[in-house]
Every structure is written in C-alpha cells, then in structure tokens.
Structure 1
C-alpha cells in the first residue's frame, strides 16, 4: 500500500497537474457587454494557459438555446452582433466561451446576463454648429446602432445640451429634455466664442450616453430680424410682378414710345408733292423723241475656207 502511494506521488510530481487532469483550464473574467446595441463577449486567458490556444464562443437568449458564435479564434473577444437575425432590442442574453488546444478542450465558462436595451452603452451623438448672428444653431445626429435605431428603441429619448463661453466651462449652462435634433441657442453674446456638448437621456438606461466632443463656434453681430428679410423679399417679388403686368398691358404704347414712326414736316411734304415747274423739265416732257439715224449693214461671206469645213459648204451656207 505504501509503495502504491509513493508511486502515485512520484508520477504526479513528474507529469504535472495538467496531464493528470487531462482538461484545459477555463478562460477567466468572461463578460458580456453592449455598446450601441451590439453584443460583445470578452474574456481573459486561463490561469494556466497552454501554447496554441484557440477559443469558441456561444450565446443564448432567455427564450432560446445556445447558438454558435465565433469558432477557433485566437482573439480574446467575439462580436456576436453578426447573429442579428437572433438578436432583438429588448432581449436578455448570456454568452459562454471555452479554450481549445489540439484535441483538448476546457469546460464552458459562462458570462453575466444583460438586457440589451437597458444595459447597452449609448455612444456619443455627432454635433455640428452654425453661427447665425448672435445665435448658434445646434444640429445633432444620433449614433448608429448595430441593430435598429435609437429613436425606434428609445421613443422618448431626449438631449441634454451644455454650452459655455470658451475658457469658462465652470459657468456652463444647460438645456434639458430637448427632443428636436436642431436647436437654436439665442441667449448668447455677439462676437463671442461658445462651446457645446450634448448627451442623450433615455428612460430605460440608468446613465447618460457618452458625451459628444466639445464643438466651438463664434457668434457674429446681432442677427437681422427675420421679418425684415421677409418683407424685403416680398417687395422685390411684388415689384417684379408689377413690371411684368405693366409691360404686357401697355406694350403697344411702349413700342410706339421706344420705336416712334418718322414723320416729315408739312413744308417738306408740300414741296415734294408740288408739280415741277422747271422749264427744262417741261420742254423735255412735251418734246417728241428725236429720230434715230442709222445705216443698213449686210454681212457677206468672203468665200475662204475655214477649219472644220469645206469651200462648198461655205458657199452653200452663204
């Protein structure tokens, strides 16, 4: 009996605990998280890692069995969002992972459970500013979700807008419960640089979203009263329409004014229409045409031959 115990202790000391157990250690610190409605499973290597380790992951919801996620990967994370046909905005999910080395596999190590719409971390919105006189227009664009969209998941999502003069963050002011994605900040000083930061607030998540990057813009002079520009535009259009109407109604008169017909003075008309009284003209008009003197001319052939014909032909022709 003592010999058998000694042999067992010798074997254990020589081969080590891994060979004796024949099973790999499981991954550690397995956790399931969500950012912008994705589903990410992460973990740390086993306490006694072996060479050439790869990992396989699975996930399940509260109403379904485990489904395969990533297979034989060497990374320490797996994005389960590609299983979007099986992921729903309001589902509860759990993940698990195991290590593999050759033909050996560890036991499955399960993660925490998360409720996607409550536990997801909402990313920061995208913010842009446009200066309009002594006011600044804030345009907000929601972060892109892995599945669905922010307004479909959180119907009552609001924005918390914080703004301050550049260099005076400690004196920041806030506008809360804003649902519009375009907001005009009116209570600003002209010719001053302001910075704006926005966060998203929802009823089903305990924390605010990630804050947006601080964006800065300078105001200009006092903005023009909106109705002044509207009146100016209306007057311009009205004058253009009036000019068109006048041109159509009085086109005949305008044509005569712009292109008048030429008229001769009365004394010129009388002079041109009066009969001529020149004595030479009267003599020439009343005289008969002179007799034309002329002499009769006859053309007689001289009888000499010409090129291309004979003398007989010329005589006959003559």
Structure 2
C-alpha cells in the first residue's frame, strides 16, 4: 500500500510540475460574472497561461459529470475569465481553473462553493430624467441582463405611480402630465427576488403640453412674412418714380482723395489742324464773279 502511494505521488509530481492557481473567486455585479484568481508566481520560460472549465446541473446529471471548456478562456494569460454568457441558467455551477507553462500543467483549482447567477449584486441604475412638453422621459445608461426596472413617479400631495420596464427597453416615457413638479426614483429588480438600491430622487418641472400645431404654424408664418417682405421690396423698386428714387438712392460724390487733380491735354501739331476753305455756290454761272475776285 505504501509503495502504491509513493508511485502515485511520484506520478503526480511528474505530471503537475506547476503549482495550482490560488485565491479563486467569483465577482458578479449586475449579472456580469467574472471568475478571478491570483496570478501564478512560478518560474516559466514563457508566459503562464490559464484554462477554465465549468459544470452545471445539465453536465452533472445528463452528461455524466463532464466538464465544459469556457470558449473564451482557454490558454489565456489574463488571470480572469468573463463567464456571463456561459452561465446561462439559474442552476448551480462548479468552476475550476488550471495553469500551463509550455508542456507543464498544474492541478485544477475549484471554486470553493458552487455559483448561481441569482447571487449577483445589483447596483442602483444610472438614470436621467428630462421633461418634453407634458411628458417625462426616463432613460437608463446600462441595465443588467434578464432584469426589469421599477420606476416610481409622483408629485407633491399625490399618490405615486409605479411603472415597469424591461431592461432591453432603456427608455420610459410617461405622458399626459399636468403642469407641476414631478419626481422620479428607480431600482433594478431581478425575478422579483433580488432588488438593487433605489436611485436618488430626480425632480423636473412639467411646463404643459406642446401643441402639435405650434411648430407648423410658426414655420408657415415665417415663410409668409419673408415672401411678403420680398414682394414689397420688388414692387417698390419697379414702381419707384425717378424723383422719388433719387431721394432713396442718392449718388454720392467721389471723395476728394479719389478725384483727379490734373488735366490731360494732348497737343496737336499745326499740320494736324483741320484746314477750312470758304466756298461760294452760285445758281447762275454768269452772275458769279471771276475766280480771281472770289474771296
């Protein structure tokens, strides 16, 4: 018996030459499940890599206790594994991780207790509230999967109204409100069993309904006013009398600095001057004076 035990210990030491990962724990917040462990402090010529497996009720009862590899966490150097989409039911899951360095591998280290996603920690949702006419628009930045949001709306001296919204919707509109100050609170609810803390109170003022005819009417009036103004300007220009137009459109004289203070004269030579000769025309040639007496 002792010889068999020594052989088993020898084989174990030969197979598992790396220490197993330690401090394995699950961090689950708002339905995001991340398995974490302490990085291995062992001498290794290459980077230490890790592999993660899980086992749920289906694997335990139907698949004869087999383990399933986490697809995104095989031979990874990151000492964490996001199992949000792998743990897809409300059953208990066993989880384990081991280290690898080249051909050497460590033993599996299992999570201390089985994990159930219903054990996640819900935080208060990130909420913003705006007033649009006679409506409140309540929007949320990020919500857990498979959860719902309970939104409570109230005004002073009136009973609060509770609205339910699925997490996939992200936006809740509450319409038909009167002119008053309304306040809103919200909390995340998971299967009516797990609730987050409530958000702080957000209060906004409702100023009344925004009539649907207001915007089209304003646009139409702007177009009619602009067209009338342009038509009046064109009519005035077309029917303006010259004396009236001069009063409106005066021609300003040139500034003194732009006026030319020199006179341009082009001298002409005597040869270029035009020569004129007086010619006398007579109807009767007999009465015309001789050519030598003509002036």
Q: Give the TM-score, by structure 1 length.
A: 0.44
Structure whose alpha-carbon radius of gyration is higher: 1
Higher share of residues assigned helix = 1
Q: Give the TM-score, by structure 2 length.
A: 0.47
